[in-house]
Each structure stands twice: as C-alpha cells, then as structure tokens.
Amino acid sequence: MGRPGLHCRAAQAVAHREEAAVRCGIVRACPFVRRLCTTQSPSPSSIVSTPASRRRAPDIRAWSGSPSLNSSLVSTSGTARPAAANQDTRLRVAVDVDEVLGRFVYALNLFCKDRYGMEYKVGDYWIYEFAKIWGCSQERSNQIVHEFFESQHFTGGIPVIPGALETLTRLSESDYELVVVTSRQHVIQDVTLDWLDRHYSGLFQEVYFGNHFALEGKSRKKSDICKNIGARVLIDDNPSYALECAAAGINVLLYDWEGAYPWSKLPASGVHNSELIRVVRDWGEVEQQLATLAPALRHPTLAPGDS
C-alpha cells in the first residue's frame, strides 16, 4: 500500500532490467538466500556461485538501487536471467505487502496507543495521510512512524491477513509466479524481508521496493515495475495504484478486506480501463478472480473466463 504524505516508507529506487544486465544477490542471515540487484552490473569476478548444498529454493531476490549494497554479491545459480524472463506458462502476479499480506495499520494503532495513548481504529483511516488522521504536522507524523519502525510492534508484531498464506501456497504450487511489489523504502527493507521469511517463506521469487515518498533517492511507479518485470496482475489495496496500473493495461485486484478499508474505494467516475480493476474482499475471492483471468492472460486470444 502506498503511503501518500508519509515520507519515510519507501526503498531506494528499484533497479529494473533496463538498468541492470544481471541479477545478483546479497547473502544475509535469513532462512534462505535473498538476491539483491543493484543499479550497476557486477563484474564476472564478483559473482560467486553458491554450492548446491547451501542453496534453498525458491529464494527471494530483493531489488533496490542502493549503491551501498554492492558487496557480497552471490548468484545462487551462477547464471544471470533478465528481470522479466518468464519463458513458461506461469502467470506472474505482483502482490503488495501492507494491508494485503499484513495488518500494518492494526499494528501501528497498537503502537500509538501504547506509546502516546492515541485511540484509532482501522476504520478511521479514510485516507493514508496519517498526519490528517492524527491531526498533527507531517514532521510529527513522520517521527511517530519512524519510532514505530524501531518498535516491537513493527519488527515482530504485524499479523498476517487471514487466508493469504493458504491461497498463495496453492497459487505457487500451480501455474503462477509470485513476486512482491511494495512502496516500502530501504530503511525497512531488511525487516520486510525477515517478516516475509517468517510468514510467507518460499512463496515469493522476488521483492521489489518502489521508494515512494522517500526523503532521498528516486522512486519508481508500480505500473513501471510491473511492466518491466512482466507482472500481468497486481494485488493492491491502494486505489491510486489500481488506477495507475489499469491505465497502463495491467489487471488489478483491488483488495478491500471484508469491505472494511475506507481508503480502498474507487472513484464513482473517470476510471480509465475500469474493466481491468476487480474488487476483492478476501483471499478466496483473489483465487477465484485469478482463475477467471489466467486463461486469457496466458493466451491473449481468449476472453476472460474462457478456457
């Protein structure tokens, strides 16, 4: 989910295939190897092949443009593959993190109550500009959220969305390739990857950080990320991303959990390519809609729903 007005939540700019000729990886203390592709291609001598006995698949490749992450480059396969080289029939689906995989606002509200006595519910967030919800300045809002990032409420307290793990497991075992496309910024990249390891281990092939609303560094639109990596569907709770991606010809499942996300509503009119946006209210509906969309996306001559 994007955080309009929240200038502390996106990563260094994602490096796309036009910016990097190969994938590379950074080994971290995690349950399996994650790859991190930087803006510059490493020299062949800087790529080290990981022994087969140390590999765990699938691995997460976390992409950012941070020049500080150019060391400890590892290729788990010893070969490079373009960012969107999807040669088989598997349909690449991009999945957002906050409010789609995990309950960010729920955990944030617990932190705000414990630290500052602020009483808010998810239903109070009619817009994702926390300063407007909390009645404070943008600077104060940023400070509170940074404190949240350092707290146990964030590092270990964000619960998962019910049904997500089960549905994603079935999809990953079928003809789908799952990647994460999030607007989160680099300051919380490691925590994000650790959280995905704990709750969705082995399900996502790649993690892309968009660097939206960051204090420094470039950002990339989710529509650009999805197009560059070959993602045909985005699952996201943010209507602005839904509109942006639909205008770019990308199918969107707009996630409005149980219809209870006040911010996750489409405008009544003026939606370009509105037929590409489908509202889903739980992960069961996500699975159903993907089953309807998949045949036509894999075989463009078919209409949605045909097989």
Which residue type is seen at 199? H
Q: Which residues are catalytic?
A: 96, 98
